[in-house]
């Protein structure tokens, strides 16, 4: 499997896969100038990864998402939802700080569009 | 600008309790640095500071992407515009202004008139639907951003569309954000 470890920048989150913990992590802010360009390698990696039928967890620990990023993230989550509905073992956690109600709300709204195991975790 | 005009500008901006202002070519780098100033702004709750930051980012990216006044070659061009953050007793306000084409102005007028009639629940619902479905036919592109901006505003945003000539219109938008502090 190809490793995935994109370091964070001012406008993009860290995106990394920890094979030991079977966890795909997104952490930080997301408001890149070109959102499709930033997330393209993640989608490519994910397509190859899902073909191996892994059991894994996704942790979404965003501290801010602009609207174009929420659109791309929903596309990604819907792919994971398809994986779940075709028998793939996956769970998703949305991590948020309780002081940031907007981020809690964002997490709840993604959950409403998904059927895969999904939970909000206050950090 | 003469020193006298600069002084008048300074006094007017001070009168408006200006927190920050920028006019010129909007780059991603400028947006990031101004964003850091907003993230360090005091006088509002942490949650509302994130709303203020998010509103600033959406409006600034709109200028960068969609302003009809541009600098640079078409592929890497940057929008030109003005963005301000000012403080009032119970709110901060993010204001942005830039030129748009007459055609885009018509679309914006229709969209904003509609958004300003919707309450927060209706805006939330519209945001969810639009996010799943993608932008509507003939959208100028900023669909989702404006919905989110209206949804988080303390009151419906004020906007103006002032024709400059046959081709361009000055579009300005002022969005109040609650401070969210317990009084």
Residues of A within 8 A of B46 (CB-CB) are: 99-100
Confidence (pLDDT) at B133? 81
Residue B118 has pLDDT above 90, yes or no: yes
Contact state of A102 with B148 under an 8 Å Cβ cutoff: no
Confidence (pLDDT) at B47? 98
Contact B96, B62 (CB under 8 A): yes
Residue A123 has pLDDT above 70, yes or no: yes
pLDDT band at A94 (very low <50, low <70, confident <90, very high): very high
Residues above pLDDT 70, as percent of chain A:
100
Say which residue the tokens 């901060």 belong to: B92
| Residue A101 burial (10 A CB sphere; 0-12, 13-18, 19+) | middle
Residue B136 has pLDDT above 70, yes or no: no
Closest chain B residue to A111 measured between Cα atoms?
B128
In angstroms, rounded to a whole number, what is the distance separating the alpha carbons of residues A110 and A77?
8
pLDDT band at A106 (very low <50, low <70, confident <90, very high): very high
Contact B106, B38 (CB under 8 A): no
The rounded mean pLDDT for chain B is: 92
Residues above pLDDT 90, as percent of chain A:
97
Contact state of A31 with B57 under an 8 Å Cβ cutoff: yes
Residue B6 has pLDDT above 50, yes or no: yes
Residue B90 has pLDDT above 50, yes or no: yes
Q: Rounded mean pLDDT of B126-152?
A: 78
Contact state of A68 with B47 under an 8 Å Cβ cutoff: no
Paired tokens of A77 = 């989550």
Residues of A within 8 A of B51 (CB-CB) are: 102
pLDDT band at B174 (very low <50, low <70, confident <90, very high): very high
Contact state of A102 with B32 under an 8 Å Cβ cutoff: no
Residue B135 has pLDDT above 80, yes or no: no
């Amino acid at each position: 499997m190809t490793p995935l470890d994109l370091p964070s920048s001012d406008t993009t989150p860290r995106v990394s896969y920890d094979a030991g913990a079977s966890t795909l992590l997104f952490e930080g802010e997301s408001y890149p100038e070109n959102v499709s360009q930033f997330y393209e390698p993640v989608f490519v990696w994910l397509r190859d990864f899902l073909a191996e039928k892994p059991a894994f967890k996704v942790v979404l620990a965003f501290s801010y998402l602009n609207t174009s990023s929420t659109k791309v993230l929903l596309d990604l989550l819907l792919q994971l939802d398809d994986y779940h509905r075709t028998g793939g073992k996956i769970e998703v956690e949305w991590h948020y700080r309780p002081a940031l109600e907007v981020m809690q709300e964002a997490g709840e709204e993604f959950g409403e569009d998904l059927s895969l195991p999904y939970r909000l975790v206050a950090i | 600008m003469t020193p006298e005009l600069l002084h008048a500008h300074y006094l007017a901006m001070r009168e408006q309790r200006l927190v920050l202002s920028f006019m010129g070519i909007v780059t991603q780098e400028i947006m990031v640095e101004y964003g850091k100033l907003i993230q360090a702004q005091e006088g509002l709750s942490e949650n509302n500071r994130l709303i203020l930051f998010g509103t600033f980012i959406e409006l600034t990216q709109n200028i960068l992407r969609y302003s009809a006044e541009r600098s640079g070659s078409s592929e890497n061009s940057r929008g030109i515009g003005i963005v301000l953050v000012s403080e009032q007793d119970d709110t901060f306000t993010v204001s942005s202004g830039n030129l748009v084409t007459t055609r885009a102005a018509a679309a914006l007028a229709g969209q904003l008139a509609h958004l300003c009639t919707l309450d927060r629940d209706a805006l939330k619902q519209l945001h969810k639907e639009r996010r799943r479905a993608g932008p509507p036919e003939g959208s100028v592109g900023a669909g989702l951003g404006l919905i989110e901006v209206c949804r988080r505003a303390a009151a419906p945003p004020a906007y103006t569309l002032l024709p400059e000539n046959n081709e361009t219109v000055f579009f300005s938008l002022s969005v109040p954000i609650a401070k969210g502090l317990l009084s």
